[in-house]
Amino acid sequence: MLKALAKLLAVLGSQTDPGQIALGAVLGMVAGLTPLAAPHNLLVLLLLLVLRANLSAFLVVFAAGSGLAYLADPLFHAVGLALLTAGPLQGLWTALYGVPALRLTRFNNSIVLGSVVLCLVLAVPVFLLCRAGVVRYRERVLARMRSLRVVQALTASRLFRLAREAAREWQGR
Amino acid sequence: MAGVVRRWLRPKGLLLLGAVLVLLAGGWWLLADAVVRRAVEGTGTALVGARVDLARAEVGLFPPRVVLDGLEVTDPDAPMTNAVAVDHGELRLDGGALLGARFVVDTARLDGVRLHTPRARSGALARRPKDEREGGFALPSIDLPDAGEILKDHPLKSVAAGDALARDLKAARAAWEARIEALPGPDRVEDYRARLKALQGARKGGLEGALRTAKDLKSLTRDVEADLKTLRGAGDDLKGDVADYRRRVQEVAAGPAAEARELARRYAEGGAFGMGAAFLNETAERWSRTALAWYRRLDPLVSRAARAAGKARVERPARGRGVDVRFPEARPLPTFLVREAAVGVTLPGGTVTGTIRDATPDPAVLGRPLTFAFAGDDLKGLDAVRLEGALDRVDPARPDDRVDLRLKGVRVKDLALARGGALPVTLAAATADLAVTGGRRGDALDVKAKADLSGARFEAGGEGKAAEAVGEALAGVRRTRIEADLTGTPRAPKVAVRSDLDRVLAGAMRTLAQDRVKALEADLTAAISQRLDARLADARASLDALEGRAGPLAERRQDLNGLLADAVDAARPRLPF
């Protein structure tokens, strides 16, 4: 986890496309907040493998989302149950329930449906916010930190170089 | 465009995905059979309560099917025996239903189904307490208890009747004393005499005096006659009462013999002498217990919570896993269903084939009950067998299960009817026709079994005169009918067995018991009489005293009759010379 966090910080400071980082975060959010064993996460895995989503961002957000999911389950359950029992939607659910392949998705489970729906609603805003956040971080925070004399002195020092080499060597084991 | 594709797609990821899919397929190929085998063993063991072993399982996808080889289901009551063993089974699955997470077997074929086969190793899950009732039929003692023991805490009707008689006689005596006190007595007679004497002295008053005297005499005569009538009535009542009490005294005196006879018979019938074919109860109860235990084990396979169709329903309480909401389906399917299974049961004498249809734990969803029908003819040791029935849990609140089993020409050999105990009884040989019909409606069992035995040969073991008597009586039985009724509930069944053997065995034991029962009867009579004697003597004394009160009443009547004669005489006209 710390390794993934370190990598994420490195990625944030690298030239990686902010969109790819944001996509990794969105996929991590879906996988983390929704029940892991639900079949839709196979689709998330497929997208993660096929698309250039950033894996570090995915792992960090997935881990954070998994912890948050325990707290958010009552909310997911309430939203899912409200949707599943909403009168106007009964026809839709009944029709979907009649399709065996769709029933495999466990959409009729309150937490599965509630978490997936909330994740879908949040996906676009989270994507946009993450991408904008990465850009803003690189433009303001990172640039400002690099311009600090202390940082410049530290990064130029022999000690820093040795520490970075040691870290690389340790990571390479 | 190429830039966008390069920016967003990861070609290596496709390769990775391919590798993942290959891994999944490989895992399936390697593990699916083992997973299914473990699932069958685990589920079966949990249901039966003893080990269920499966030698091999093979899962196929095209077409979807499961092959099971070497299935062994341990008999929980006999861990070294398989209740059922299946050599080979093949299940053809409904692929479409599998996509909807429903395990639907379109057709199943079970070959080489055998019952009660030996196991190489114990299939017990844990040591179970031994059923104490399996110890065999205990022959009741042939010795009768002695009279003192029987009477120790026994309330005796004869003694109670003696007490009641003494009490009633005492009350009757007191009542009669009071009544006699109120009747015309010597004072009244003296009074009448004084009136008569006065009238006799007043006869000299001329014609007018004579007429007045005659009138007074008539009045006196009427009074005396009224008193006489009262005394006669009382005398008759007393006579009646005395006769009643005398009859009661005789009855009470005869009570000890009657009560002793009844007690002796009751104790004789409660012991070995009245046991009839009680050992058959043990056999019937044992078989019923076994059958009902399997019936209860089948319960989870044929019914679980009801699911009403036509409305979305919340299934499970939310706790971290949410709730599943079920929606109405155009063609609802249970989560597990065997539409049709062809079963071949291999018995020692041949093969019985049959079909099981619509086996599901959710019959309410399917809307049809499980039905089964088996038949076999010309088997070795059995002319014909027919088994039909249904386990109807379409309405889970009102199970309606039916069974109709008919066995014709069963050659029975060395069937232990009472195992061990003081009276082991074996049906060494017989030809039996057996019919079992009935079922369960709601929670009430109503099953009737009837067995007609011909060419029977019973063998009874055990020691002692009672066992010998049973053995001799059974040796003469060639034909008999045994009927059993199973009632109560599946958890608390009641078995009642009737048989011709009851009469045969009871007769044999009665003969054996005759002398002992007579001796007990005499002892009881003497003991009860002894307890009753004092009460009876009191009663007789009271009765004599009561009867003695008739004498004074007769004397009073005699006095009044004399007085009446005198009055009549006084009224007769007398000549002056």
Could you report the per-residue pLDDT of B464-513, keeping only the tens digit for each? 776 777 777 788 888 888 899 999 988 888 888 888 777 777 777 777 77
Among A143, A144, A146, residue whose Cα is nearest residue A155: A146
Amino acid letter, residue B193: R
**Chain B residue closest in CA terms to A115:** B322
Residue B190 Cα distances to A142, B113, B230, B552, angstroms: 153, 113, 17, 16
Mean pLDDT in residue range B17-44: 88
Is the residue at B154 inside a domain? no
- Reported as a single tens digit per residue, the pLDDT across B408-418 is 998 988 888 77
Q: Which of A87, A132, A48 is nearest to B312 (CA)?
A: A87
- Looking at residue B392, what is its pLDDT? 92
pLDDT of B446 > 90? The answer is yes
Q: How many interchain CB pairs under 8 A, A with B?
A: 97
Q: Is the pLDDT of residue B438 over 60?
A: yes
- Mean confidence (pLDDT) of chain B: 82
Asked if residue A15 belongs to a domain, the reply is: yes
Q: How many domains does chain B have?
A: 1
Please state, in angstroms and rounded to a whole number, the distance separating the CA atoms of residues B366 and B394. Answer: 8
Give contacts of B99 with chain A, Cβ < 8 Å: 100-101, 103-104
With bands split at pLDDT 50, 70 and 90, how would you rate the model's confidence at B132? very low
pLDDT tens across A124-160, in order?
999 999 999 988 888 887 777 777 777 777 777 777 7
Q: What is the amino acid identity at position B572?
A: R
Q: In chain A, what are the helix, strand and coil shares in percent, each to the nearest 5?
A: 85, 0, 15
Q: Which of A1-15, B69-83, B461-475, B553-567 has the lowest mean pLDDT?
A: A1-15
Please tell me the total count of domains within chain A. 1
Indicate the average pLDDT of chain A: 84
Confidence of residue B531 (pLDDT cuts 50, 70, 90): confident
Please report the pLDDT score of residue A102 as a whole number: 84
A20: chain B residues, CB-CB within 8 Å: 7-8
**What's the whole-number mean pLDDT along residues A15-26?**
88
CA B118 to chain centre: 36
Tens-place pLDDT, residues B316-336: 544 467 888 888 877 778 888
Average pLDDT over residues B210-225: 83
Any domain includes A172: no
CB contact set of B446 (below 8 Å; sequence gap of 6+): B438, B439, B440, B486, B487
Asked whether residue A47 is assigned to any structural domain, the reply reads yes
pLDDT tens across B156-206, in order?
888 888 888 888 988 888 898 888 888 888 888 888 888 888 877 765 666
> What mean pLDDT comes out for the span B292-321?
63
Write out pLDDT tens, residues A52-104.
888 888 998 999 998 888 888 889 999 999 999 998 999 999 988 888 788 88
| Per-residue model confidence (pLDDT) at position B318 | 46
Q: Could B99 and A104 be called an inter-chain contact, meaning their C-beta atoms sit closer than 8 Å? A: yes
Predicted pLDDT of residue B500: 79
Q: Say if A40 falls within a structural domain.
A: yes
Contact B417, B461 (CB under 8 A): no
CA B189 to chain centre: 73
Give pTM, 2 decimals: 0.59
Q: Of B100, B322, B330, which is closest to A109 when you measure between CB atoms?
A: B322
pLDDT tier, B518 (very low <50, low <70, confident <90, very high otherwise): confident
A66 occurs within a structural domain = yes
Question: DSSP H helical segments within B336-480, as ranges?
Answer: 363-366, 465-475
Q: What pLDDT score does B307 carry?
A: 47
C-beta of residue B466 within 8 angstroms of C-beta of residue B275: no
Measure CB to CB from residue A103 to each of B10, B101, B314 and give the nearest one.
B101
Cβ contact B312–A85 (<8 Å):
yes
* pLDDT above 90: percentage of residues in chain B: 18
In a domain, A33, yes or no: yes
The chain A residues in contact with chain B (CB within 8 A) are: 17, 19-20, 35, 45-46, 48-52, 70, 73, 76-77, 80-81, 84-85, 90, 93-94, 97-101, 103-104, 106, 108-112, 114
Question: Given an 8 Å threshold on Cβ–Cβ distance, is B8 in contact with A46?
Answer: no
Q: Which sign does the torsion angle of CA A67, A70, A75, A81 carry?
A: positive
Structural domain of B71? 10-121
**DSSP structure class, residue A37:** T
Task: Count other Cβ atoms within 10 Å, centred on residue B494.
Answer: 12
User: Is pLDDT of B435 > 80?
Assistant: yes
Asked which of B303-307, B528-532, B547-551 is least confident by mean pLDDT, the reply is B303-307
**pLDDT (average), residues B551-567:** 85
A159 within domain boundaries: no
Task: Kindly tell me if the per-residue pLDDT of B260 is higher than 80.
Answer: yes
Band (pLDDT 50/70/90 cuts) for residue A171 is low
pLDDT of residue B201: 73
- Tell me A87's DSSP state: G
For residue A23, how many C-alpha atoms fall within 13 Å in the half-sphere facing its CB? 19
Higher pLDDT, B318 or B576: B576
- State residue A139's pLDDT score: 83
State the Cα–Cα distance between residues B133 and B283, nearest whole angstrom.
11
pLDDT tops 80 at residue A10: no
Contact B401, B392 (CB under 8 A): yes
Residue A81 located in a structural domain: yes
Selecting from B8, B100, B323 the residue whose C-beta is nearest the C-beta of A81 gives: B323
* DSSP state for residue B145 in the 8-state scheme: P
More confidently predicted of B420 and B406:
B406
Read off the pLDDT of each residue in B115-129 and give the average, rounded to a whole number: 79
Hey, what are B250's tokens?
A: 């005789």
Q: How far is B9 from chain A (nearest CA, A)?
A: 4
Percentage of residues in chain B with pLDDT exceeding 70?
Answer: 88
In a domain, B67, yes or no: yes
Residue B373 within a domain: no
Cβ density class A43-81: b for 16+ within 10 Å, e for less: ebeebbbbbbbbbbbbbbbbebbeeebeebbeebbebbb
**So what's the pLDDT on residue B395?**
87
Contact A97 B329 (CB under 8 A): yes
Task: Residue B119: name the closest of B85, B159, B153, B92 by CA.
Answer: B85
> Could you list the residue range(s) of the whole structural domain that residue A103 is in?
2-137
Tokens 């005096």 label which residue? B209
Task: Assess if residue B17 is contained within a domain.
Answer: yes
* Residues on chain B touching A94 (C-beta within 8 angstroms): 312, 327-328
